[in-house]
Amino acid sequence: MNGRLAQASIYGIAGTALFLLLASGFLLAIGRPPFVTLVTMAGYAFGDGYSISESLVKATPILLCAFAVILPARLGLISVGGEGQLYLGALAGTAIVVGYPGGPMFALLPAMVALGAGGGAIWGGLAGVLRARFDVNETISTLLLNYIAVLLVNYAVYGAWKDPASLGWPATIQFPPAATVPSLLGTRVHLGFIVALIAAFVLHVVVTYTRWGLELRILAGNRKVGAMVGLRFARNTLIVMALGGALAGFAGICETAAIQGRLQSGLSVGYGLTGFLVAWLSGQHFLRAVPIAILVGGLIAAGDALQLYSKIPSASATVLQGLLFAAALAASGLAARREARRG
Amino acid sequence: MLRSSTPLLVVTLGETLTQRVGIINLGVEGQMLGGACTGFAVAAATGDPLLGFAAGAGAGIVLSTVHAILCLVCGANQIGSGIAVWTLGLGLTSYFGRAFIGGKVTGLGALGGPTVADIPLLGPILNQLTPLAPAALILVAAAGLWLYRTSTGLNWRIVGESFETARAIGLAPLFVQLQGIIVGGLLSGFAGAILSVDYTQTWANDMTKGRGFVAVGLVIVARWNPFFVLPVVLIFGLSEAATLRLQAGGLTLSPYLIGCLPYVVCLLCVVVASMREDRIGGMPAELASVFGRRQRAR
């Protein structure tokens, strides 16, 4: 066991080194000193209280979208639908705010959050139904549903929900205070982050120690054996997809209500895709996803800061994410291959 | 319609060939973006659309090599690797593509010219097409004939059906899979360049808008058969064109709702194809483990 752990950390270190090498190569290619830039980025990500809070703000939707990948992965499904579920959650949650902007907080806030989670659950559940009922590959359906969800939000904010006072900017009305997710200690970090941490813990306990978690493991390992002992793949597919979707939808409505204050086009900067990356880096593990999401959230926050102060476009953060993903896949792939060879 | 469908036709053909050797590559989306951006840049700099197409295909090859290294050398998961390639393509093109936003290039000239314009029926059609559409049709037919009528095509099909059998009869299956990925990269990059240089003649961030993923879906609908790629893509394009016609005919719908249509149609096609999966078959057996239909064979 110890040897295996040591081996895993060797590949972890090798993966990190490979990423730093690739990242330096990219920074050199765009004419930036790699070492200085990387240190500056670390400073922008976690250098002071404000940077840390900005990193946590970014980490919140990323972490929730990672859960929307990890939970289906526990059943052996590969969902890339976090982005679409996030958008649909934002859309569904906003509906009640646009409909009853004057509602009292005790009714409006819970209804908004519930609808947001419900919207995400429907979008995730749709891919789940298609997989369970018609054997449609969930990776392809979630990828296509992402594009549809983004267009549906555009349809709403360019159309019926557009605030006439926003002077042509495609966005809904400003959310009233009664529909604002509370923030923590006067920072921009909001309650969604705490919910995500609790969700990480609860989901980890549930999939590790409960009967249902065992059920998922059996079905993921061998569906035929699962069916023989009376486990239902179809029903569990629907559950994990809908539950994962609910978490991503919750992320969407939190991002809308707490950070941006209104539903607007382009509400997510690829949080769903980044969540997918985090889920894979964590080895589809709920607790390990937390620190990784915070680190990657820091990378994105630093990308924003770089754009502001050093005029490096934030698209460079997307490139760095891609390099990080490639390095991690290379390292973990080689590790698994080595493991298999040892038998 | 044939003109707007050409990029999708070429990228779907490329993904079909890649999947025939038992490799799924979701990175086609990123490779198309790479091809579109590089192709546009080169065409704008040199003024020669042909050089643009070549550069686009080259960019597709480079990005697909990343997929090949991750899957074949490192043994990484194919879906994960494809998403990584997509992320790289998206990031790199939106980084380096900033300089080209708002630019314009001239694509290839129309096929016809004044001499054929007077031919009834055929004239107007030819005048809308550039040489790329017929070239793509020939490419599809050639790929189909090659896959089913030549011995190297047979080798590719063997690798896609059973990696182990291919090894046992002395083929080099890893090398064949590498070729499959590279050919898919070449065609997806070419398709991206057709989109930016010949069709829209501009470059915009994320301009492929999921066409690569639609292609992955349409491969399933076309039953991994290059000959079926053409009718499937055309039916798909027809449904798109029909809606635009409805729109012009007075039906008022938000452009964003109409924008959903390609994805909805693609999804419905995949649903129908997947429902009948067991009866029609056609999926290369090596893909089944990636799609999670059967237990892992290896």
Domain of residue A159, CATH code? 1.10.3470
| Residue B158: both structure tokens together | 């063997």
Tell me which of A21 and A8 has the higher pLDDT.
A21
Segment among B119-133, B147-161, B214-228 with least mean pLDDT: B119-133
Give dist(CA B158, CA B201) in Å, integer: 40
Q: Which pLDDT band holds residue A195 (cuts at 50, 70, 90)?
A: very high
Comparing CB atoms, the residue among A273, A321, A326 nearest residue B66 is A326
In a domain, B216, yes or no: yes
Torsion angles phi and psi, residue A127, rounded to 5: -65, -35
| Residue A85: both structure tokens together | 């579920």
In a domain, B297, yes or no: no
Q: Do B75 and A139 touch (CB under 8 A)?
A: no
Q: Which of A153-162, A165-174, B24-33, B239-248 has the highest mean pLDDT?
A: B24-33
- Domain span at A145: 33-311
Helix (H, G, I), strand (E, B) or coil at B25: coil
Q: Do B87 and A321 touch (CB under 8 A)?
A: yes
- Best interface-test mutation with B: which of A70, A236, A325 has the largest number of B CBs within 10 A? A325
Comparing CB atoms, the residue among B81, B217, B275 nearest residue A329 is B81
- Best interface-test mutation with B: which of A11, A136, A158, A284 has the largest number of B CBs within 10 A? A136
Q: Which pLDDT band holds residue B14 (cuts at 50, 70, 90)?
A: very high
In a domain, A202, yes or no: yes
Q: Which residue's entry shows tokens 């040199």? A: B46
Q: What is the pLDDT of residue A22?
A: 93
Q: At what angle do helices A34-46 and A2-29 cross, to 10 degrees?
A: 110
Q: Do B88 and A313 touch (CB under 8 A)?
A: no
| Residue B287: both structure tokens together | 């893909």
Q: Which residues of A touch B33 (CB under 8 A)?
A: none
In a domain, B55, yes or no: yes
Q: At what angle do helices A315-342 and A271-281 cross, to 10 degrees?
A: 30
In a domain, A143, yes or no: yes
> What average pLDDT does range A75-103 have in this prediction?
91
Q: Dihedral angle at the C-alpha atoms of B142, B274, A142, A296, nearest 10 degrees? A: -70
Q: What is the pLDDT of residue B293?
A: 47
Comparing CB atoms, the residue among A136, A140, A333 nearest residue B76 is A333
**What is the ipTM, given to two decimal places?**
0.88
In a domain, B53, yes or no: yes
Q: What is the pLDDT of residue A1?
A: 45
Q: What is the pLDDT of residue B296?
A: 35
Give dist(CA A245, CA A79) in Å, integer: 10
Q: Do B70 and A333 touch (CB under 8 A)?
A: yes
> What average pLDDT does range A229-247 have in this prediction?
93
Q: Which pLDDT band holds residue B297 (cuts at 50, 70, 90)?
A: very low
pLDDT of residue A120 exceeding 90: yes
Q: Which residues of A touch B81 (CB under 8 A)?
A: 326, 329
> What average pLDDT does range B22-50 have in this prediction?
93
| Residue A11: both structure tokens together | 């590949």
> What average pLDDT does range A249-264 have in this prediction?
91
Q: What global pTM score does this model have?
A: 0.89
In a domain, A318, yes or no: no
Give dist(CA A310, CA A55) in Å, integer: 18
pLDDT in tens, A172-190: 888 888 888 877 777 788 8
In a domain, B176, yes or no: yes
In a domain, A334, yes or no: no
Q: pLDDT averaged over chain B?
A: 85
Helix (H, G, I), strand (E, B) or coil at B281: coil
Q: Which residues of B touch A323 (CB under 8 A)?
A: 88
Among residues A138, A128, A156, which one has the least CA distance to residue A252? Answer: A156
Give dist(CA B88, CA A265) in Å, integer: 23
Structural domain count, chain A:
1
Tell me which of A130 and A173 has the higher pLDDT.
A130
Q: Which residue's entry shows tokens 């993903």? A: A325
Comparing CB atoms, the residue among A222, A318, A330 nearest residue B94 is A318
Q: Which residues of B touch A80 (CB under 8 A)?
A: 83
Q: Which pLDDT band holds residue A283 (cuts at 50, 70, 90)?
A: confident
Q: Do A333 and B220 touch (CB under 8 A)?
A: no
Tell me which of B183 and A222 has the higher pLDDT.
B183
- Give the domain CATH number at B284: 1.10.3470
B164-169: list long-range contacts, CB under 8 Å, 24+ apart: B164/B298
| Residue B113: both structure tokens together | 């010219």
Tell me which of A171 and A202 has the higher pLDDT.
A202
In a domain, B169, yes or no: yes
Comparing CB atoms, the residue among B70, B216, B259 nearest residue A329 is B70
- Domain span at B184: 2-291
In a domain, A2, yes or no: no
pLDDT in tens, A43-60: 988 888 888 999 999 999
Q: Is A341 exposed, middle or buried (0-12, 13-18, 19+ CB in 10 A)?
A: exposed
Adjacent-strand bridge partners of A190: A183
In a domain, B298, yes or no: no
In a domain, B255, yes or no: yes
Q: What is the pLDDT of residue A150?
A: 92
Q: Which pLDDT band holds residue A116 (cuts at 50, 70, 90)?
A: very high
Distance from the Cα of residue A305 to its chain's centroid: 21
Contact A60, A49 (CB under 8 A): no
Q: Do A151 and B259 touch (CB under 8 A)?
A: yes
Q: Which pLDDT band holds residue B250 (cuts at 50, 70, 90)?
A: low
Segment among A8-17, A227-236, B40-49, B82-91 with least mean pLDDT: A8-17
Give dist(CA A204, CA A213) in Å, integer: 9
pLDDT of residue A204 exceeding 50: yes
In a domain, A4, yes or no: no
Q: Which residues of A touch B77 (CB under 8 A)?
A: 329, 333
Structural domain count, chain B:
1
Q: What is the pLDDT of residue A225?
A: 85
pLDDT in tens, B191-220: 999 999 988 888 988 888 889 999 998 998
| Residue A337: both structure tokens together | 């291959």
Q: Do B76 and A319 touch (CB under 8 A)?
A: no
DSSP of B244-262, one letter per residue?
HHHHHTT----HHHHHHHH
